[in-house]
Amino acid sequence: MAQVDAIIIGGGIVGLSTGLALLAARPGRSVVVLEKEALLAAHQTGRNSGVIHAGLYYKPGSVKARTCARGRTLMEGFCERHGVPFERCGKVIVATRADEVPRLEELERRGRANGLTGIRRIDRDELREREPHAAAVASLFVSETGIVDYREVTRAMAREFARLGGELRTSARATAIGRRGATVVVSSTAGDVEARVLVGCAGLGSDRVARMAGLEPGVAIVPFRGEYWMLSPQRAHLVKNLIYPVPDPAFPFLGVHFTRRIGGGVEAGPNAVLALAREGYARTSFVARDALEIARWPGFWRMARRHWRAGMAEQWRSLSRSAFARACAALVPELTEGDVTPGGAGVRAQAVARDGALVDDFAVVEAERMVHVVNAPSPAATASLAIGEEIAQRALRWL
Ligand SMILES: Cc1cc2nc3c(=O)[nH]c(=O)nc-3n(C[C@H](O)[C@H](O)[C@H](O)COP(=O)(O)OP(=O)(O)OC[C@H]3O[C@@H](n4cnc5c(N)ncnc54)[C@H](O)[C@@H]3O)c2cc1C
């Protein structure tokens, strides 16, 4: 059996960032990442909006606020050093109704409290210059927001991890976790590994990995699919960069928005519909074990009772192209149903507590020689390098 210093389950952007931080802090130590897929970034990391978030939405003082701010700077630096293209293009947030204006003002206050200096209200003329086709009664501009392809970031991280001596095993699914004396033993489809410390960064499987290790994380991952639509090439000029609505503070999702992709094209979305398969990217995806686990989690029913109205509206927008197009037209009125075609989809790993609360902040559970990330939703791609540093600090206690 291989004996190493640290083993990380999950080769997404959070797992690889943690691996990089461990090797930066303790050069020469042996660190293995186990990834069940043959390819990297197969799940959340490779199926997201590609936004480097500025960090204005998050509660000041939260882990999200702290790590997003630091992570953004680290991410831009990483991309510069490793030749990964990114653009700091800024974004506008538009209030389309008068009753959204107080929430827009609150966002501006939060942004400032979170240290953003490039955030300001813009008037009609400036909005017309930045996003000539957007509708708004009031709008905010945030200059710090950027775009990148996180799959490319992940590939660069994997190269750097290997250069520093890390070992990345793909097609290696962790299947059991046990203890032997002062070590942790992880069995996987690519062999067993004994380590002095285990870090779980398994995204959509993070609660299962924590339970496999004998911990009770107190949350279950409830998967929410986010479906994208593409603007047709003839209509892509209607969006210059990023246009976002004022989000509903009751939800951790940002609402349907427009994003220019770094590789070209403009996406609309994602919505947020309950997925009956953790890695279910199609509307028809269904995995009995996943659906049963959702149904058995008491927090799911409590959450459903609280949010059924919003859930039904999301479901309807998922099924009806015209309903989705109407949501788009609230931000860009010239858009019609014929201007959008179905695009890709991602599934968010959203932790839901036993009391039905959608866990808002990043969350970690720990035990002797183990650190498990159990909630790393957006902006965890932006924040990944900062999250990795903090997780590595906790894991280093055991090295
Ligand atoms: C639709 C959508 C849009 C988003 N937009 C943005 C955005 O614009 N900006 C931003 O910052 N964030 C965004 N996010 C959030 C961001 O993508 C995620 O927070 C981030 O990718 C989480 O990374 P991760 O490494 O934790 O998870 P993942 O990328 O899901 O990686 C976890 C890995 O663990 C592996 N794994 C699971 N179980 C096992 C096992 N038993 N053994 C071995 N391997 C295992 C999986 O195969 C997977 O590769 C978005 C997310 C979604 C879904």
* Structural domain contains residue 395: yes
Look at residue 3 in the predicted model and tell me its pLDDT: 96
Output the CA 203–ligand 1 centroid distance in Å.
5
Taking CA atoms only, the protein residue closest to ligand 1 atom 31 is: 12
Reply yes or no on whether the pLDDT at 249 is more than 90.
Answer: no
Q: What tens digit of pLDDT does each residue of 373-397 get? A: 999 999 999 999 999 999 999 999 9
Query: 166: how many CB neighbours lie within 10 A of its CB?
Result: 23
Reply yes or no on whether the pLDDT at 313 is more than 90.
Answer: no
Mutation to probe ligand 1, out of 44, 167, 222, 362 (largest number of atoms < 8 A from CB)? 44
* Residue 212: domain span: 1-87+145-218+361-399
Question: Residue 312 is which amino acid?
Answer: M
Output the CA 19–ligand 1 centroid distance in Å.
15
Share of the chain above pLDDT 70, in %: 100
Look at residue 341 in the predicted model and tell me its pLDDT: 92
Taking CA atoms only, the protein residue closest to ligand 1 atom 2 is: 48
* Structural domain contains residue 111: no
Output the CA 137–ligand 1 centroid distance in Å.
35
Which residues, 6+ apart, have CB-to-CB distance to 133 below 8 Å? 238, 239, 332, 333, 334
Termini Cα distance of the chain: 19
pLDDT band at 274 (very low <50, low <70, confident <90, very high): very high
* Structural domain contains residue 209: yes
Asked if 51 and 254 touch (Cβ cutoff 8 Å), the reply is: no
Reply yes or no on whether the pLDDT at 311 is more than 90.
Answer: no
Q: Which atom of ligand 1 is nearest the CA belonging to 68?
A: 11
Asked if 270 and 345 touch (Cβ cutoff 8 Å), the reply is: yes
Share of the chain above pLDDT 90, in %: 91
Output the CA 373–ligand 1 centroid distance in Å.
11
Reply yes or no on whether the pLDDT at 310 is more than 90.
Answer: no
Query: What integer is the mean pLDDT of 296-308?
Result: 94
* Structural domain contains residue 380: yes
Q: What tens digit of pLDDT does each residue of 88-139 get? A: 999 999 999 999 999 999 999 999 999 999 999 999 999 999 999 999 999 9
Taking CA atoms only, the protein residue closest to ligand 1 atom 15 is: 378
Give me the torsion for CA of 169, 173, 176, 177, rounded to 10°.
40
String of DSSP letters for 95-124: E-SGGGHHHHHHHHHHHHHTT-SSEEEE-H
Domain count, the chain: 1
Look at residue 176 in the predicted model and tell me its pLDDT: 98
Mutation to probe ligand 1, out of 7, 34, 47, 48 (largest number of atoms < 8 A from CB)? 48
* Structural domain contains residue 101: no
Q: What tens digit of pLDDT does each residue of 23-41 get? A: 999 999 999 999 999 999 9
Reply yes or no on whether the pLDDT at 252 is more than 80.
Answer: no
Look at residue 320 in the predicted model and tell me its pLDDT: 83
Reply yes or no on whether the pLDDT at 251 is more than 80.
Answer: no
Reply yes or no on whether the pLDDT at 255 is more than 90.
Answer: no
What is the H or E stretch that residue 183 is in? strand 183-188
pLDDT band at 142 (very low <50, low <70, confident <90, very high): very high
Look at residue 309 in the predicted model and tell me its pLDDT: 85
Reply yes or no on whether the pLDDT at 250 is more than 90.
Answer: no
Query: What integer is the mean pLDDT of 253-259?
Result: 87
Question: Residue 163 is which amino acid?
Answer: R
Residues near ligand 1 (Cβ within 6 A):
9-15, 34-37, 42-45, 47-51, 53, 173-174, 201-205, 209, 226, 270, 346-348, 376-382
Q: Best-predicted range by mean pLDDT among 204-218, 240-254, 301-315? A: 204-218
* Structural domain contains residue 25: yes
Q: What tens digit of pLDDT does each residue of 154-200 get? A: 999 999 999 999 999 999 999 999 999 999 999 999 999 999 999 99
* Structural domain contains residue 388: yes
Q: Identify the CATH number of the domain in which residue 154 sits.
A: 3.50.50.60
Q: Which atom of ligand 1 is nearest the CA belonging to 10?
A: 34
The chain-wide mean pLDDT, for the chain, equals: 96
* Structural domain contains residue 165: yes
Q: Which atom of ligand 1 is nearest the CA belonging to 175?
A: 41
CA distance 329 to 327: 5
Beta-strand relationship, 146-148 and 51-52 = antiparallel
Look at residue 316 in the predicted model and tell me its pLDDT: 81
- CA angle, 79 as apex, 74 and 83 as ends, to 5°? 155
